[in-house]
Amino acid sequence: PDRHLPAPAAKAAVQAADRAHVFHSWSAQGLIDPLPVAGAEGSYFWDYDGNRFLDFSSQLVNTNIGHQHPKVVAAIQEQAARMCTLAPGFAVDVRAEAARLIAGRTPGDLDKVFFTNGGAEAVEHAVRMARVHTGRPKVMSAYRSYHGATAAAINLTGDPRRWASDTASAGVVRFWGPHLYRSHFHAATEAEECERALAHLEETVLFEGPQSVAAIVLETIVGTAGVLVPPPGYLAGVRDICDRHGIVFVLDEVMSGFGRTGTWFAADLFDVTPDLLTFAKGVNSGYVPLGGVAISAAVAATFDRRPYPGGLTYSGHPLACASAVATINAMAEEGIVENAARIGETVLGPGLRALAERHPSVGEVRGTGVFWALDLVRDRETREPLVPYNATGADNQPMADFAAACKRQGLWPFVNMNRTHAVPPCTVTEAEAKEGLAALDEALHVADAHTAAGARTAAGGGAASDGG
């Protein structure tokens, strides 16, 4: 049988078992209808009915080398045949090699790697390292951020939609980071936004008592919460605040790392070195769960003679590490990071900006590499988001309609609140990027119909295309 198109009967069986037994993330279980996916390759995946989707989400922004990269698949198969698992206390060739390759690409002296199973655990352990290293209790993080869904990580996450309870956040202090388009500081320029955001952060540190603050945790470029690229000087300013107050600077590069920004790490764009850097997703494109913390010499030294109070049965899992080695080597051999930079500069960036000119629903385009967001609005003047914060049901209809229009165009979008992110694999070709832009162009007509300009067009008798 054609492996790309399994028998139709299989689809019903998958759907029935999924609905009966799989409890899905972030969902009201009775209100979802997950798409049964039959296969995937490169920048595409397809369903059981032969519908193929260009993956402009990279799943959860993790398949940086696309689906089923043959070198990575082969490395996992070879490792499985050789040795599937070994406890973290042993020295293993693929684990050592993965750590060496990662340490060789992280900035500065982040030369030791603690492996986890994913991003949230990486954040948990970074926080623990910082607390033990400093002997201080508090951790600071930004509103408009995502750091994962485990106990500490979810409370560091600066998005109330994600908080499971209000009582678990002891020891977490949140602050506002820079975001000129929706400025908390009423700034007029990037320079002003940066200056005010740094003053606000320093004041928050001083009020909390610097001697009580273990760490400041930031996404280098905020991902899920909107692809917020910090203004020049911001991260250097945070580095300076941390240095002056003895605070551990943690950059969360779970989403922004391993090529997404057109550099190995987003930190490279800003020439900044944190004390701890968390990673996951792109390290092996998620082929086997893997994350980790890259640790500076100073923080690592704390644990030279004193045991690190933490560990995981699967820390540095051989299958995951083998896939990371193959992924990083493939990215280097095939110029995949350079490809992400080139596609961003020559196709995605200019193409998305051109869409903004044509579509009144696009309020702002921001990003770099293969890491972009379109901020969709009802009205460009007021910047009112196309849907309200945390919209559900009818309130969210404009974004639901937009997403459905993308899918009709064969594009799988990443949609969050009033935004769509253009986050294809770093391997995306020029032709695929253009195909994605064309699909977005069509689908944005649906969003336009919900804008003030769209309403005027409709009132004036112009047809508001549904783009389908």
Give the interface with ligand PLP as residue ranges (CB under 6 A).
60, 118-120, 123, 146-148, 219, 223-224, 252, 254-255, 280, 291
CB of 188 to ligand PLP, least distance (A): 29
Measured from the CB atom, the residue of 225 and 247 that comes closer to ligand PLP is: 225
CB of 65 to ligand PLP, least distance (A): 17
DSSP character at residue 178 = P
Measured from the CB atom, the residue of 124 and 401 that comes closer to ligand PLP is: 124
What's the CA gap between 50 and 72, in Å, rounded?
26
CB of 230 to ligand PLP, least distance (A): 14
What's the CA gap between 281 and 254, in Å, rounded?
6
DSSP character at residue 412 = E
CA 356 to chain centre: 23
Measured from the CB atom, the residue of 159 and 193 that comes closer to ligand PLP is: 159
Q: Please count the CA atoms within 13 angstroms of the CA of 455 that sit on its side-chain side.
A: 7
CB atoms within 10 A of CB 135: 9
Measured from the CB atom, the residue of 138 and 421 that comes closer to ligand PLP is: 421
CB of 417 to ligand PLP, least distance (A): 15
Q: What is the DSSP string of 1-58?
A: --TTS--HHHHHHHHHHHHHH---TTS-GGG--PPPEEEEEBTEEEETTS-EEEETTH
Question: Which residues lie below 8 Å from residue 273, measured CB to CB, with a gap of 6+?
Answer: 107, 108, 109, 110, 239, 267, 296
Q: Token pair for residue 187?
A: 């700034």
CB of 154 to ligand PLP, least distance (A): 9
CB of 118 to ligand PLP, least distance (A): 3
What's the CA gap between 67 and 63, in Å, rounded?
6
What's the CA gap between 449 and 406, in Å, rounded?
15
Closest CA to 151 of 138, 135, 164: 164
R_g of the chain, CA atoms, integer Å: 22
Measured from the CB atom, the residue of 146 and 287 that comes closer to ligand PLP is: 146
Q: What is the H or E stretch that residue 121 is in? A: helix 119-134
Between the CA of residue 15 and those of 19, 30, 50, 331, what are the distances in Å?
6, 13, 16, 35
CB of 255 to ligand PLP, least distance (A): 4
Measured from the CB atom, the residue of 38 and 269 that comes closer to ligand PLP is: 269
CB of 261 to ligand PLP, least distance (A): 13
Instruction: Find the residue with minimal CB distance to ligand PLP.
Output: 119
Measured from the CB atom, the residue of 133 and 147 that comes closer to ligand PLP is: 147
Question: Which residues lie below 8 Å from residue 361, measured CB to CB, with a gap of 6+?
Answer: 376, 377, 378, 386, 444, 447, 448, 450, 451, 454
What's the CA gap between 352 and 440, in Å, rounded?
9
Between the CA of residue 192 and those of 96, 220, 229, 367, 404, what are the distances in Å?
45, 19, 15, 20, 39
CB of 67 to ligand PLP, least distance (A): 18
Measured from the CB atom, the residue of 120 and 386 that comes closer to ligand PLP is: 120
Measured from the CB atom, the residue of 126 and 362 that comes closer to ligand PLP is: 126
Measured from the CB atom, the residue of 66 and 158 that comes closer to ligand PLP is: 158
CB of 49 to ligand PLP, least distance (A): 29
Measured from the CB atom, the residue of 221 and 446 that comes closer to ligand PLP is: 221
CB of 60 to ligand PLP, least distance (A): 6
Exposed, middle or buried by CB within 10 Å (0-12, 13-18, 19+), for 90? exposed
